[in-house]
Structure 1
């Protein structure tokens, strides 16, 4: 105990790096591979936002092939109406989007973090809802296999609207962006 107390108050020489200074009485020195304790320069800041993801665009009725080997297509985009089913749900006009992703790569890939969004050129956002039986993409997609997801977005009016539907099948991967008009 006395030995620990005796070395606890030791201070490195001015200008010496405490990580590489010898501890008196031990004969040991830190190796040169020790992490640096030098603080970051004042005013420097790390990344504040995610770098933009590559976007591949196409019309609503085309397949979009991504550089990752995934092919994304919209099987249907239809105007519909949903009925509230649980507390917090809202009834009203909506757009139903059925998305199919096909894995043309050689490795199994997850779609658990898939995000599908809907926006109109005038800035209206389709509000995602689970009312009406939405069934989102989920799970792993094996090579040469496909998965389907059904998304519902509250949008008033839903018929005859120009819109952009973006599909990001996995976090950090390219985005398939479809544009067109609801029937």
Structure 2
């Protein structure tokens, strides 16, 4: 039973490292902040509207931050102050978007999401010190360290006290693979 508990702890330590992240993109002075963001496949980008004006997040055609809407692309619809739009991106590539309300795009309200690039949340050199980045921090690398567990042999061995069930054995094999993966 203690071995099962140890394997479960290893799995629990590995799970957060594999979890997808949510990255916030703010809106300030007619621009998205950050304008360019690098994420991993499966990550979510959220645009919280906190500046008091209406905004709409609209996918644009390929190219360097254009204002032309992508036919069939995503469109958040108008979001008022206090609302947010979020979208999960699962495929590698580059997605461009704009603020589709009024002339905001022409004033510089455009952005780019690089999916599959170095998932650090932003392009190097982009200011991320604003207060609306609470979820834009990648998790620190986690290291699992095995430690010996003191056990004692049962005083009267029986056939039920030794060996593992088939279910426990499968769990142990899976946990072992995950533990080996985490150790890499």
Give the greater-gyration-radius structure (CA): 1
The answer, yes or no, to whether TM exceeds 0.5 is no
Greater relative CO (CA pairs within 8 A, separation 6+) = 2
Query: Whose strand proportion is higher, 1 or 2?
Result: 1
Length-normalised TM-score, structure 2: 0.23
Length-normalised TM-score, structure 1: 0.23
Query: Whose helix proportion is higher, 1 or 2?
Result: 2
